[in-house]
Chain A
Amino acid sequence: MNPSLLLAATPSAAFPFSDWIVAAIFIVCLATTITGALIAAFTKRIIRSVCGLAVCCLGLAGLYYFLNSPFLALMEILIYIGAVCVTIIFGVMLTEPDEPTPENFVKPYPVIAPLVGLAIGAGVFLGIAKLSLSGNWSAPAALTNDGSVKAIGIALLTTYSVPFELISLVLLVAILGALVIARSGRTKE
């Protein structure tokens, strides 16, 4: 079910070119992630940007799958695409998020500002990419835990039980706070 099993089956007895097929699926996941991020950051209309975020999260779910975590891939789709993107779309519907049209809005620095943004983004990307390419990521000597769903469940209920409960408290307080903030001022109109 997960890529490590595919890897175990890769030697020549398996399906021909199976490693190249897996690599092609990986490239497709990478391309989906990058395309989604570009759509999310560069389109004018906010609703397209939300769709770009959803596409990006779909690609990320594929990458999580390649990182031996089908559970997190499912969670990424459920939480990000199913909850976060839909919530943002609700926000888009309740407000007018689109950037002002050029007729009534004069851009203060039409040439310099995008270049400065691109330069900062490219600087961050090149710096971190150089660091991560030159880093020496050594594999651990021995795995103490295989990272299966069962192991995650045991760890959540033993080692991480307090943060797990605190997260539920944070979510409860966030929902109540969101209701209170969005409700206030509504009756005055």
Chain B
Amino acid sequence: MNPAQIYSQPAAYLVVAAFLLATGIYGLIRRRTLIGMLISGELIFAAASLNFMALNRFTAADQSVGQIAVLFIMGLAAAEVAITLSIIIAVYRNYRSIVSKDLSELKG
């Protein structure tokens, strides 16, 4: 395969999507604040969208299905961000912190 045609290989896109998923999971594990975890969740959404688009482009007979699926993912991600940020603001108002370790009422 001609190395100049790398952009017509599905594997290139799928490996990048796997990388985005891995960094998203790493961030979800390591971040201590709620907004950091939200950003990592957005990375995972981006990985799923890229997977949809790559497989749609290279294996689907109907080329518009994957694009519509990604549009729906974007809409759901926007709704998720709006609700999550309002919850974060409400949590910050009650606890004066959004570090996930502080958000507990039980001892131990």
Contact = CB atoms under 8 A, between A and B. Distances in A.
Contacts of A177: 83, 86
B99 interface: yes
A20 B70 contact: no
Interface residues of A, number: 95
Contact of A91 (B21, B53, B89): B89
B89 A37 contact: no
Given A49-B39, A100-B99, A94 B46 contact: no
A171 B76 CA distance: 8
A113 B27 CA distance: 12
A87 B85 contact: yes
B56 to A, nearest CB: 8
Interface string A114-154: 10111011101100110011010111111111111001100
Contacts of B39: 40, 46, 49-50, 53, 88
Contact of B35 (A38, A46, A64, A117): A46
Given A68-B57, A139-B58, A142-B61, A185 B93 contact: yes
Contacts of A124: 18, 21-22, 25
B103 interface: no
A22 B91 CA distance: 48
Given A23-B7, A128-B21, A145 B93 contact: no
A37 B30 contact: no
Q: Which of B43, B46, B98 has the most CB of A within 10 A?
A: B46
B67 A71 contact: yes
B35 A92 contact: yes
A1 interface: no
A97 B33 CA distance: 6
A107 B72 CA distance: 40
Interface string B62-85: 111101101110111111111101
Contacts of A178: 82-83, 85-86
Among all A-B residue pairs, the 8 with the closest Cβ atoms = A147-B63, A132-B14, A174-B79, A125-B22, A121-B26, A128-B18, A178-B86, A182-B86
